């Protein structure tokens, strides 16, 4: 059974080159990496506001789509992902 290499610390330029060789010349999908999740915004619920974590797209990781692939989302540089915190840990 082989072990997978942790690519989270991989050089972004090497990853971009590897991806470029994996797709037909002149085409690739929109690709990007997320930052690590933030810490919880709070330790308990306050009114209607649920504690949450966020992460952002790493701007230097964005590889814009080319060819027949769908375009990257508008304002991808500002894309934020949010999830609720588990308060029962």
How much is the CA Rg of the chain, to the nearest whole Å? 17
Asked whether residue 78 is assigned to any structural domain, the reply reads: yes
- Give the separation between CA 52 and CA 85, rounded to whole angstroms: 5
pLDDT recorded at residue 1: 38
Domain, as residue range, for 34: 11-84
- Give the separation between CA 66 and CA 48, rounded to whole angstroms: 43
Distance from the Cα of residue 68 to its chain's centroid: 22
Give start and end residues of each alpha helix (H) in the chain: 12-22
Coil, strand or helix at 11: coil
Give the tens place of pLDDT for each residue, 26-53.
Answer: 677 888 999 999 999 988 888 888 899 9
The overall average pLDDT reported for the chain is 78
- The tokens for 84 are 């609720």
Asked whether residue 36 is assigned to any structural domain, the reply reads: yes
Domain count across the chain: 1
Of the listed ranges 6-10, 67-71, 85-89, the least confidently predicted one is 6-10
Asked whether residue 41 is assigned to any structural domain, the reply reads: yes
| pLDDT of 8 above 60 | no
65 confidence band (pLDDT: 50, 70, 90): confident
Asked whether residue 4 is assigned to any structural domain, the reply reads: no
Asked whether residue 60 is assigned to any structural domain, the reply reads: yes
């Amino acid at each position: 059974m082989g072990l997978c290499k942790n690519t989270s610390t991989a050089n972004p330029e090497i990853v971009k080159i590897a991806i470029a060789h994996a797709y037909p010349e002149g085409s690739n999908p929109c690709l990007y990496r997320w930052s690590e999740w933030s810490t919880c915004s709070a330790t308990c619920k306050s009114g209607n506001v649920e504690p949450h974590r966020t992460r952002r797209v790493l701007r230097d990781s964005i590889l814009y789509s080319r060819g027949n692939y769908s375009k990257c989302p508008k304002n991808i540089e500002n894309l934020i992902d949010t999830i609720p915190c588990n308060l029962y840990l």
